[in-house]
Structure 1
Amino acid sequence: MAVPKKKMSKSRRDARQSNWKKKVLKKVLVAMSIGKAFLENKTSNNFIFD
């Protein structure tokens, strides 16, 4: 079983978590924007789905 050889520093851990949360927030905002547009019946072909 793979085991980390050294303990990861708190600053590195926090930086990685922060980066992950920023990416998630960006995806959430896009999803909310698309969902809101569909609910308001403003559907168009301008959406790019990843």
Structure 2
Amino acid sequence: MAVPKKRTSKSKSRSRKANWKRKAHLTAKKSFSLAKSLLNNKQNSFVHNDLNSETKSV
């Protein structure tokens, strides 16, 4: 099993964690914005099927 030879500095591990958290924050921000635009019927940049407007043929 591979073992690191030297200890990783705190600044390097903190910067990795900060990058990881920033990616998660941006993804959450985008999804929240998308949800808000769907609720307000102001979507412009994507195509989605509205389940309420579909007619069901039985």
Q: Same fold (TM over 0.5)?
A: yes
Q: How many residues align?
A: 46
| Structure with greater contact order relative to length (CA < 8 Å, sep ≥ 6) | 1
Question: Structure 2: which 5+ runs fail to align?
Answer: 47-58
Question: Structure 1: which 5+ runs fail to align?
Answer: none
Q: Who wins on radius of gyration, i.e. which is larger?
A: 2
1:13-24 paired onto structure 2 within 5 Å: 13-24=13-24
- Deviation at residue 2 of structure 1 after TM alignment: 1.5
TM-score, normalised with respect to structure 2 = 0.64
Structure in which a larger fraction of residues adopt helix: 1
- Deviation at residue 6 of structure 1 after TM alignment: 1.0
C-alpha distance in structure 2 between counterparts of 1:24 and 1:34, whole Å: 15
TM-score, normalised with respect to structure 1 = 0.72
1:9-34 deviation line (CA, Å, top 9, x unaligned): 00111111111111111111001111
1:1-40 paired onto structure 2 within 5 Å: 1-40=1-40
